[in-house]
Amino acid sequence: MLAERTEIERRVRDEIRRSGVDPIRDSAGAHQVIEATMGAYFAEFVAEDQPYGFDAESIRSHLHDSIAGFGPLQKYFDDPQVEEIWINEPGRVFVARAGRSELTTTVLTSDSVRQLVDRMLVWSGRRLDTSTPFVDAMLPDGSRLHVVIPDITRDHWAVNIRRFVHRPHHILDLVPLGTLTHQAAVFLEAAVVSGLNILVAGGTQAGKTTLLNSLLGCVPAHERIVSCEEVFEIQLPSHPDWVPLQTRDASLEGTGEIPLRRLVREALRMRPSRLVVGEVRQSEALDLLVAMNSGMPSAATLHANSAREAVTKLCTLPLLAGQNISADFVVPTVAGCVDIVVHTATTRTGHRRVQEIAALPGRVENGVVEIADLFSADATGLRRGSGFPPHAGRFEVAGYSLADLLQPGESLARS
């Protein structure tokens, strides 16, 4: 069987080169070539009246994985329960299911790891070499690829592939998953429609991007969204007016780099109704605050372990923009611009849950931004706190009753 498989694979690759089909970008075209080549190969056995003792379906699956897929890793891409795939060394391939990691039986070689990464990067157009030993890229299915090579790593290439198994299109889609309660979801929907500035915080793999994506699904169809990210992760296929922007690395000559801060500034020139920053890490926080301060409804994600820590971090990051930026400017600006902070985390069981929803009333006491508790997690879910969000008038204009949204028990829908 190995000899037949090798021969068919050789013929398929030759035919793909002749036809000019790109197997990564055109999976359907590659599948047609595989079927046609296998059909011609089997016809030779029929013409010579010779039986063949190999498994055609097994060969077909192998060819599709190795030519139009990602080889030994393709079975994990096809598994809807796999959330992440990572390679620490060729013989140690891990996957995560339901937040829990497990060592797989897949064993690769150093050459096969390099070939897989090269195939993945061909689609993204990004490069990886000794001058740029890190790379972030998006795969055709929307998964996010991150690779680090020696001598940054000790001996082997470190590969992480973060998949987006569940892509909610609306905040209410997260309620059946247990991510948040119905009342909290309806309130967040109202906050988005009312144009409040929302910050989504959490740790790594806490579901920040998923939550942000679901919040953006609440944006009215007539509004124009411009999103800025290091790597494309936000997906809004149903929104009619959405422009996604992505950073760009420097060329081999060290020119042409487009950092996230530049994207934020350029996005403001594109007549957005909503500005979205995929993740705030550095001085782009200043440009985000300036946009919020100018009345631009915005949303962003941030790494933090609580709503309070997220606010503290957002008060610190703009200081990286230069020595002429002081805390005396940043702290009151954060208090006056950020309206809602949603903190999400991964539980011990591997489930992603919203832990708290806080509001910033706009007050600062002794250099500390005041935070009001809207919802916080307990054993039964998200418990309604005693706080209220700012801009009650915006909720009324959008057709919501803030008293109904935040009453004890289940909230009411939009009036």
The predicted structure's pLDDT at residue 323: 81
- Is residue 362 classed as helix, strand or coil in its secondary structure? coil
CATH of 74-162, one of 2.40.30.10, 3.30.450.90, 3.50.50.60, 1.20.1290.10: 3.30.450.90
CA distances from 302 to 33, 181, 245, 292, 384 (A): 45, 22, 18, 16, 24
**Residue (of 98, 100, 73, 278) closest to 159 by Cα position:** 73
Which helix (DSSP H) or strand (DSSP E) does residue 290 occupy? Answer: helix 284-293
Give Cα separations from 314 to 156, 189, 256, 277, 317 (angstroms).
36, 23, 28, 13, 5
Closest CA to 298 of 316, 315, 284, 319: 284
The Cα-based distances of 381 to 198, 307, 343 in angstroms read: 21, 17, 14
The pLDDT assigned to 384 comes to 94
Q: Which tokens belong to 294? A: 């100018």
Checking if the pLDDT of 350 tops 90, the result is: no
- On the question of pLDDT at 313 being above 70, the answer is yes
**Segment 98-111 mean pLDDT:** 92
User: Is residue 411's pLDDT more than 50?
Assistant: no
Higher pLDDT, 215 or 78: 215
Mean pLDDT in residue range 53-59: 70
Chain segment 356-390, per-residue pLDDT in tens = 999 999 999 999 999 999 999 987 778 999 999 99
Distance between CA atoms of residues 281 and 260, nearest Å:
9
Q: Is it the case that residue 252 has pLDDT exceeding 80?
A: no
Confidence at residue 53, expressed as pLDDT on a 0 to 100 scale? 57
- Phi and psi at 191, nearest 5°, equal -65, -40
What is the structure's pLDDT at 1?
A: 54
Count of CB atoms within 10 A of residue 285's CB? 27
CB neighbour list of residue 324: distance below 8 Å, 6 or more residues apart: none
| Displacement of CA 146 from its chain's centroid (Å) | 12
Q: What is the pLDDT of residue 275?
A: 97
pTM of the predicted model as reported, rounded to 2 decimal places: 0.82
Confidence of residue 48 (pLDDT cuts 50, 70, 90): low
Per-residue pLDDT reduced to its tens digit, 258-295: 999 999 999 999 999 999 999 999 999 999 999 999 99
Report the Cα 40 to chain-centroid distance in Å. Answer: 43
- Average the pLDDT over 63-90 and give the result: 90
Q: What is the mean pLDDT of the chain?
A: 89
CB–CB of 169/210 below 8 Å? no
AA letter at 31: H
Cβ atoms of residues 268 and 291 within 8 Å: yes
- 367-400: b or e for each residue (b if 16 or more CB lie within 10 Å)? eebebeebbbbeeeebebbebebbbeebbeebeb
| Span 188-235, pLDDT tens digits | 999 999 999 999 999 988 989 999 999 999 999 999 999 999 989 899
Residue 97: in which H helix or E strand, if any? strand 92-97
Amino acid at 308: R
**pLDDT the model gives residue 415:** 36
Tell the CATH topology of 171-405. Answer: Rossmann fold (3.40.50)
Annotated domain spans of the chain: 2-69, 74-162, 171-405
- Per-residue model confidence (pLDDT) at position 9: 79
Strand partners, 229: 246
Average pLDDT over residues 109-126: 88
Whether the Cβ atoms of residue 359 and residue 382 lie closer than 8 Å to each other: no
Percent of the chain with pLDDT over 90: 61
Among 345, 354, 341, 415, which residue's Cα sits nearest to residue 381?
Answer: 354
Whether pLDDT at 128 is above 80: yes
pLDDT class of 412 with cuts at 50, 70, 90:
very low
Q: What is the CA radius of gyration of the chain?
A: 25
User: What pLDDT does residue 34 have?
Assistant: 83
